Structures are given as structure tokens and as C-alpha cells.
Amino acid sequence: MATGDTKPQKEASEMTATVNPTLLSEIKKVGAFDISACFNCGNCTAICPLSKEGEEFPRKMIRYATVGLEDKLLSSAELWSCDYCGECTKTCPRDADPGAFMMAARRYAIQKCGWGKISMYSSKTMFYGSLAAISLFLASIIFIFHGQISLGNVDLFSFIPMDTVDRAGMIMGAFVGISAIANLIIMKKYLSKHLNGSSSSLNARTAYSKLAALGRVIVDEVAIQKSFHTCTDHNRYWAHILIVWGFAGLMVATTLDYMIDAYGVPLSMYLPRDLGIVAGVALVYGSLYFIYKRIEGKEEYATFTHFTDWTFLILLLVVGVTGFLLDLFVLVDNAILAYATYSLHLIIVFDLLMTAPFTKFAHALYRPLALWSTEYSQTATSSALLQEAVAKTV
Ligand code: SF4
Ligand code: SF4
């Protein structure tokens, strides 16, 4: 058993847990499902390709939400395991849409893990207001601190000088880094209420187990996304992984470009340019795929799209497209269009990164942490049981 609790212990802890009577209605605000129709048959858990013994979802999550067990829900690592393939929704006899429920519960968890109660999901005004404020902030920095506008010969680093890029980058990096760490600490506290092993003393063996589990999660779930491959059709898998790698590739290309120009790092200028082109194609393809699927609305996972998901996809697409346009305008030496596109590109990237710890982007951190904690907890539980068995034998 993953949690190490016996059944009576589990029932007792559920009975003593704090109940939030408005939990289900709060989750409903950030999704579209009808879990009140659920009659607890368990079809969804049986059909889910990722659910396994000891980590049953989505039925267990649905139960927590319907009875208001907020702490139980937020401390469940399983919340982050779902890849929203929609299989459970397809087979639900009550049309309760458990897949959409899982996505909404995850948005709710992102909301609850935000430090300082920052919540991008609380309303459309909050969501678009935050994006508008961040855009305005960066646009003002570009407007006030821009350098020379050379119309004859496009020079992006003269238009926005290095120290401006440095300052804006430092503000963004500090905010995003601090927010991500603070949110992960909040999430870890939730997870620790539920999982074993997290509080075991750190010695060489536990440190090694933790590092090995972390390595496996990074390779399997971040780099190649094995479980996503297991649970969904291959086209969707490739579109998803191209978005992840495409965005990461653009970040690396931009950093290399900056290092070469600003600090004279001895690398060929072709390296960031070629990497940028490949990564841009990947990002545009991946985001267009999901936009098309959502417009088509045939697949279970694409029948409802939360407005924040629409915005996220459109912003990703704009990042990719403006990246290509920028290359084109630099190539043809059209300074006005190049500087305008460059500004728009930077503003959208800034929007995505500054809000990342509080939006869908955050699952890129929460999911590995949840899977890592689960994996480590299972390893710790198994070795504790093994040690106990050996001690009894001796
Ligand atoms: S399949 Fe539908 S009705 Fe059955 S437990 Fe899952 S959500 Fe409820
Ligand atoms: S959407 Fe797919 S992965 Fe998520 S709970 Fe349903 S069947 Fe499992």
C-alpha cells in the first residue's frame, strides 16, 4: 500500500479531517463537469491506463471532492498523475466527465499552492488583468529604456541595450524563482501529510534513493514523458512533447544568442539560430495541433477548454510565430517591423514566464515533485518493510 496506512487508519483519518463544504462548488468554478451525477461505480478508475493499486484515481479524488476533504485532495500525489486522455469520461455511464474533473481539481490545487494567495484562476478579470499589467510593465521598460532605433540596419541589441535586458531578466528571474520555490514548499507540505518516507532521516542510503528516484522521474516523466505516451494517442503525445521541447529549445537558443552577443562567448552564431528555428517549428506545430483539436472538439479531452488553456495555447503560438517573423524582418532589414515584432515577442515571453508559477505551466514543476515524492515514498516503504522482515527473521 503506497501510503502505508491500514484501512481502519485511513477511514479514521478521513473522519477527523477538516471538511470544506464548499469544496466541490469551488472546483466547479474552474472546470466543466457534473460529478454530482457520479454514483461511484468505479468504471473510471478501472479504465484509466495510469491508475494503479494504491493510487486509484479519478474515483478517489471525486470522493474527496464530494465529501469536502480538501486536505486529502490536495495531499494526493495522484492528482498530478492524470494526463487527461479522456478515457474515463468516454466510459462514464453518468456523463459525469471525470477527466474534466481531474483537470479542474488540478487548477484548484495550483490556486491553493500559490504563495501569498496569488490566484490566476480566481476570475477572468484577475487572469487577464495580471497579463495586461505584466505586458504594460515590460512595454513601459522597453519604451523608456530603449536604445538607438537604427532604421537602416537592424540591430536588436542596440534597440534594447544589454543592461535593460539584464535588469528586466533579473526582475523576472527573481520573481519566478522565488515564487516557484515558495509554491513547491506549499505543495510539498500538502504531499507530506499523505506520503511516507518524506520525513525519514537523511543518510547516505536515503539520499541515494531520493536522487535515484529524482533521476528516474526527470528522464521518464519530464524528458520523454513515458506515462503520457502510455495513456494517449501518439499524435497527441508528440504534439505535447514538441511544445515542451520547443519552448525549452527557444529558451536555450535565446540564452546562447545573448551570451554570444553580450559576453563574446566563443560559439558560432549559427548554433542559436538553427536551434531557434527547430525549436520554433516544434512549438508552432504543437500549439497549432492542440488549437485545432480544441476547435474540432471531437476528442473527449478537447470538448471543453477552460479560457486559461485557450490563452496559454494562443500565447505559445504567438511566441513561435513572432520568433519566425523576427528572423524574417531582420533578414530583409525592415527595422520598424523587426523592432515591433521583437517587443511583442519579449512581452509575450515575459507574460508566460512571470505567470508560470500560477498557471497551467506550474504543473511542469508540481507533477515531477508529486511523482518523485510518490516514487520515493514507495521505495522507502518497501525498504522499511524489508528491514522489518529481516529483523523479524533474525
Ligand atoms: S465512471 Fe462516472 S459514475 Fe462511475 S465512479 Fe467514475 S465518475 Fe462516477
Ligand atoms: S483522463 Fe485519462 S489519465 Fe486522467 S483519470 Fe481519466 S483515464 Fe486516467
Q: Whose CA is nearest to atom 6 of ligand 1?
A: 44
- Does the beta carbon of 99 lie inside 6 Å of ligand 2? yes
Cβ-based neighbours of 173, under 8 Å, separated by 6 or more: none
- Does the beta carbon of 58 lie inside 6 Å of ligand 2? yes
To the nearest 10°, report the CA torsion of 189, 192, 193, 197.
-160
Q: What are the start-end ranges of the H helices in 58-123? A: 59-67, 70-74, 87-91, 98-113
Instruction: Look at residue 195 in the predicted model and tell me its pLDDT.
Output: 62
Q: Whose CA is nearest to atom 3 of ligand 1?
A: 38
CA of 80 to the centre of ligand 1 (A): 19
Instruction: Look at residue 203 in the predicted model and tell me its pLDDT.
Output: 72
CA of 48 to the centre of ligand 2 (A): 5
Of the candidates 165, 129, 102, the one whose C-alpha atom is nearest the C-alpha of residue 306 is 102
**Separation between Cα atoms, residue 359 and residue 154, nearest integer Å:** 35
Q: Whose CA is nearest to atom 8 of ligand 2?
A: 48
Ligand 1 cavity residues, CB under 6 Å: 38-44, 59, 62, 92-94, 96, 98
Residue with cell 523608456: 144
The overall longest dimension of the chain from CA atoms, in Å, is 84
Q: How far is CA 189 from CA 65, 101, 195, 332, 369, in A?
A: 19, 23, 10, 54, 12
Ligand 2 pocket: which of 47, 88, 221, 226 to mutate (most atoms within 8 A of CB): 88
- Does the beta carbon of 320 lie inside 6 Å of ligand 2? no
- Does the beta carbon of 50 lie inside 6 Å of ligand 2? yes
b/e per residue, 322-341, with b = 16+ CB within 10 A? bbbbbbebbeeeebebbbeb
- Nearest-5° angle of CA 237, CA 288, CA 362? 60
- Does the beta carbon of 55 lie inside 6 Å of ligand 2? no
pLDDT tens digits, the chain, 394 residues: what are they? Answer: 334 444 555 545 554 568 999 999 999 999 988 888 899 999 999 999 988 877 788 999 999 999 999 999 999 988 999 999 999 999 999 999 999 999 999 999 999 999 988 889 989 999 999 999 999 999 999 888 888 777 777 888 788 887 888 888 888 999 999 999 999 999 999 988 766 544 555 677 778 888 888 999 999 989 999 888 887 789 999 999 999 999 999 999 988 988 887 788 898 988 998 999 999 999 999 999 999 999 999 998 888 899 999 999 999 999 999 999 998 998 898 999 999 999 999 999 999 999 999 999 999 999 999 989 887 776 666 555 566 666 665 5
CA of 102 to the centre of ligand 1 (A): 12
**Separation between Cα atoms, residue 260 and residue 267, nearest integer Å:** 7
Instruction: Look at residue 198 in the predicted model and tell me its pLDDT.
Output: 47
* Peptide bond connecting 58 to the previous residue in cis, omega within 30 degrees of 0: yes
Phi, psi of 133 (to 5 degrees): -65, -45
- Does the beta carbon of 84 lie inside 6 Å of ligand 2? yes
b/e per residue, 95-112, with b = 16+ CB within 10 A? ebbbbbbbbbbbbbbbbb
CA of 83 to the centre of ligand 2 (A): 6
- C-beta atoms surrounding 370 within 10 Å: 26
Q: What is the pTM of this model?
A: 0.86
